[in-house]
Amino acid sequence: MSTEIREREALFSSKNIKLLKNPLSLSNPITVQVLGICSALAVTAKLEPAIVMAISVTLVTAVSNVVISFLRNGIPPRIRIIVQLVVVATLVIVVDQILKAFVYDVSKQLSVFVGLIITNCIIMGRLEAFAMANKPWPSFLDGIGNGLGYGLILIIIAFFRELLGSGSIYGFHLIPESFYELGYKNNGLMILPPMALIVVGVIIWVQRYYTRDLIEKN
Amino acid sequence: MKALRKLLDKQKPHFEKGGRFEKFHSAFDSVETLLFVPDKVTFSGSHIRDSIDMKRTMIVVFISLIPALLFGMWNIGNQHFLSLGQVPELWTAFFYGFLKMLPIIIVSYVVGLGIEIIFAQIKGHEVNEGFFVSGLLIPMIVPPETPLWQVAIAVAFAVVFAKEVFGGTGMNIVNPALTARAFLFFAYPADMSGDKVWIADKLDAYSGATPLGNALVGNFDQIPSTYDMFMGFIPGSNGETSVLMILIGAAILLATGIGNWRIMLSVVVGGIVMGLLFNWWGANEYMELPFYNHLIMGGFAFGAVFMATDPVTATQTKNGMYIYGFLIGAIAILIRVFNPAYPEGVMLSILLMNVFAPLIDHYVIESNIKKRLKRIKVLVSN
């Protein structure tokens, strides 16, 4: 038994802040680790579903990280994936029901992609890589950080796709009618998933231009 | 000529390192090498420098495009006046089409070269000639009424995402000109397909459908005669209607050895085989369309001669070229007949095979290695 007295770490020590901040840029789940791409392509045609998706994933990642972190010493290693899946699936069903109850339209737009949060690589990745080896509080921050990092990219993609593809932001028409009268047209390719991939590519490009450390050495 | 050389020599120091316009070095270089053969010599070892560099290659392709380009200009005017119920004079029609097409060409070159120069400047290399041909190809494969801002966006997209991100001329995976066309097709379908866009300023009552458009909706009696389609007296994209003019271009490419006959031939063979297969199947009226009509409708000839043969995006091995070309021809006809959303399949099939070209090359080389290893084994065991 380890009964040594350790100094309590401050809740927002610099180490913990890093857990929260790193996933937003240096170890972003989408642009650096290239995880969770499928949902990033599927739900980003409009801003509203993207935001809802971002919040849902953030909550599920954070809460499942905490739960797994509490259970981490009791989970037999051979069945840990199953245990993690049960926890994630439970949370996703709760999120799904809440969405259906309060934002039914968005829930319909997101369709299967809420259910597919279960298989989102980011969540499983964080559970395996972080929550299984860390205390609940850092795990919580890690979950929030990664969820926000994912959500940030989702919202950037959705912003450009909705603006250029539908001429609106969050459902409000932003591009004035006079533009359309002059011959401007919405870009149909922006609505299609391939363009989301290209937007992700551009974000990665811009990010690497400013943070040279991320560029792989050949 | 002498005066021009003198002028360039006078300006040159300004553009070299330390000069006033060092920043515009790549722009100056591109103009200079366009006008004169570069006087660069090799210093170490013995090398043979052939004057047929990329610039000369591109100029030959450019020349081979000119017959189709000029005919396309005339055809734009011809179709326009025919739709109004008039029979135009040769020069009236040509001039009308010239004025329609010139802005598209200018926009294509200004935007494309602008982006190329910016990238060349940032990366510190010279402006490559790659866009010289792409910039002319793009205006030739869009409808005459394409809005200029759409051309500009498509060219920018193609140059940045199909070419520069992969490292510029010679490094691209897919054909930039076709990427621009595909971008337009998916982004602005209303301006790129249907029966309204192929004739400039036509009367509403006049049907402007292309042969492929008619075939898709089942109006087989409205498909023009084989002669008209071969000569190119049909509505269509700017430079692709006349198979005759494209064949002249192909002859120039083949005579100079710039174009690859293996690819051209196998694309045509692929189209014929698929066409015959459908003729034999004959499940619907489209399948019964005579196979030779497929070769002269839409962009098949243009794609086979100018797009599929792009040396950068095509396969490099000889056997690979046969496979690559055959699949382009076959898939193009397959898309035309089977997919109700896309009247034309040549663009999509070439882009698809561009992506597969390295894979084909890989397996051709692998099989060659295996064959040779076997030969060695036989020799060793004896």
Angle between helices B318-338 and B261-281 (to 10 degrees): 40
Residues of A with CB under 8 A from a CB of B: 183-185, 187-190, 192, 198, 201, 205
Contact B327, B353 (CB under 8 A): yes
Cβ under 8 Å to A: B residues 144-203: 147, 149-150, 153, 161, 165, 183, 186-191
Evaluate whether B143 touches B191 at the Cβ level (below 8 Å). yes
CB B101 within 8 A of CB B238: yes
Chain A interface includes B341 (CB < 8 A): no
User: B104-123: b or e for each residue (b if 16 or more CB lie within 10 Å)?
Assistant: bbebbbebbbebbbebbeee
**Tens digit of pLDDT at every position of chain B (382 positions):** 678 788 878 877 777 776 777 767 777 776 777 677 666 666 777 777 666 777 788 889 999 999 999 999 999 999 999 888 888 888 999 999 999 999 999 999 999 999 988 888 888 777 777 788 899 999 999 999 889 999 999 999 999 999 988 888 888 899 999 999 999 999 998 888 777 788 877 777 777 788 888 888 888 888 888 888 898 888 888 888 899 999 999 999 999 988 899 999 999 999 999 999 999 988 888 888 888 888 988 889 999 999 999 888 999 999 999 999 999 999 999 999 888 888 888 999 999 999 999 999 999 999 999 999 999 999 888 7
Q: Per this entry, what is the length of chain A? A: 218
Measured in residues, chain B has a length of: 382
Phi, psi (deg, nearest 5) at residue B12: -55, -45
Q: Report how far residue B100's alpha carbon sits from residue B102's, in angstroms, rounded to the nearest whole number.
A: 6
In this structure, how many other beta carbons lie within 10 angstroms of the beta carbon of residue B279?
14
Beta strands in chain A (DSSP E): 168-169, 172-173
Query: Using the 8-state DSSP alphabet, how is residue B162 labeled?
Result: I
| Residues of chain A with C-beta less than 8 angstroms from the C-beta of B183 | 189
Count CB neighbours of B171 within 10 A.
13
CA B131 from centre of chain: 11
| CA atoms of A207 and B305, how far apart (whole Å) | 41
* H-only helix segments in chain B: 2-15, 25-35, 54-83, 90-123, 130-140, 148-157, 176-187, 189-192, 211-217, 226-231, 243-256, 261-281, 291-296, 300-302, 318-338, 346-381
Task: Identify which has the larger pLDDT, B64 or A180.
Answer: B64
Residue of B nearest to A166 (CA): B187
> Residue A3: is its pLDDT beyond 70?
no
- Token couple for B277: 């297969």
Q: Contact, A131 vs A72, CB < 8 A?
A: yes
pLDDT at B41: 67
State which H helix or E strand residue A31 sits in: none
Burial label for A4, CB within 10 Å (0-12, 13-18, 19+), is exposed
Q: Do B189 and A190 touch (CB under 8 A)?
A: no
DSSP state, residue A172: E
Does the distance separating the beta carbons of B189 and A205 come in below 8 Å? no
Contact A117, A36 (CB under 8 A): no
Q: Which amino acid is at A47?
A: L
Q: Are B185 and B65 in contact (CB under 8 A)?
A: no
Alpha-carbon distance of A198 to A135, in angstroms, equals 38
* Distance of residue A201 Cα from the nearest chain B Cα, in angstroms: 10
Residue-wise pLDDT for A115-154, tens only, equals 888 888 889 889 999 999 999 999 999 999 999 999 999 9
Contact call for residues B14 and B8 (beta carbons, < 8 A) = no
Tokens 């935001």, residue?
A51
- pLDDT value at residue A2: 47
Of the candidates B107, B209, B189, B215, the one whose C-alpha atom is nearest the C-alpha of residue B156 is B107
Chain B residues lying within 8 Å of A185, measured CB to CB = 150, 188, 190-191
Residue A172: beta bridge partners? Answer: A169
Which residues of chain B are within 8 Å of residue A192 when distances are taken between CB atoms?
Answer: 186
Residues 6+ apart with CB under 8 A from B296: B226, B229, B230, B243
List CB contacts (< 8 A) between B189 and chain A. 188
Task: Give burial (CB, 10 Å; 0-12/13-18/19+) of B127.
Answer: buried
Residue B159 CA to residue B115 CA, distance in Å, equals 7
Nearest-CB residue to A188 (from B149, B165, B186) = B186
Q: Count of CB atoms within 10 A of residue B168's CB?
A: 19
Q: How far is CA A17 from CA A12, A62, B236, in A?
A: 6, 15, 61
Kindly state the helix (H) or strand (E) to which residue A143 belongs, with its residue range.
helix A136-166
pLDDT tens readout for residues A40-52: 888 888 898 999 9
Task: Mark yes or no for CB contact B186/A183 under 8 Å.
Answer: no
Q: Tokens 């086979």 sit at which residue?
A: B304
User: Which CATH number is B54-367's, of 3.30.70, 1.10.1740, 2.40.30, 1.10.3430?
Assistant: 1.10.3430
In this structure, what token pair is assigned to residue A158? 């959705």
Confidence (pTM): 0.87
Question: Is 50 exceeded by the pLDDT of residue A65?
Answer: yes
- Determine the Cα angle at B157 with ends A113 and B66, to 5°: 140
Burial (Cβ within 10 Å: 0-12, 13-18, ≥19) of residue A188: middle
Distance from CA of A38 to the nearest CA of B (A): 21
Here the tokens at position B202 are: 């036509």
Query: How many angstroms away from the CA of B214 is the closest CA of chain A?
Result: 24
Let me know if B83 is exposed, middle or buried by CB neighbors in 10 A (0-12, 13-18, 19+): buried
DSSP single-letter state for residue A185: -
Nearest chain A residue (CA) to B146:
A183
**pLDDT score, position B40:** 65
The predicted structure's pLDDT at residue B34: 67
Comparing alpha-carbon positions, the chain A residue that sits nearest to B162 is A198
**CA B176 to centroid of chain Cα atoms:** 9
Residues of B in contact with A189 (CB under 8 A): 183, 186-187
Domain boundaries defined on chain B: 1-49, 54-367
Q: How far apart are CA A120 and CA A129, in angstroms?
A: 14
Among A188, A198, A201, beta carbon nearest to B189: A188
Round to whole Å and give the CA distance between A192 and A42.
9
> What is residue B359's predicted lDDT score, i.e. its pLDDT?
96
Burial of B274 (0-12, 13-18, 19+ CB in 10 A): buried
Q: What is the pLDDT of residues A13-38, one digit of tens each?
A: 888 888 888 888 888 888 888 888 88
Q: How close does chain B come to A188, measured CA to CA in Å?
A: 4
Other C-beta atoms lying within 10 Å of the C-beta of residue A206: 12
pLDDT of residue B89: 87
Q: Which of B144, B148, B151, B149 is nearest to B81 (CA)?
A: B144
pLDDT given for residue A6 in this prediction: 56
The span from the CA of A144 to the CA of B160, in Å, is: 35
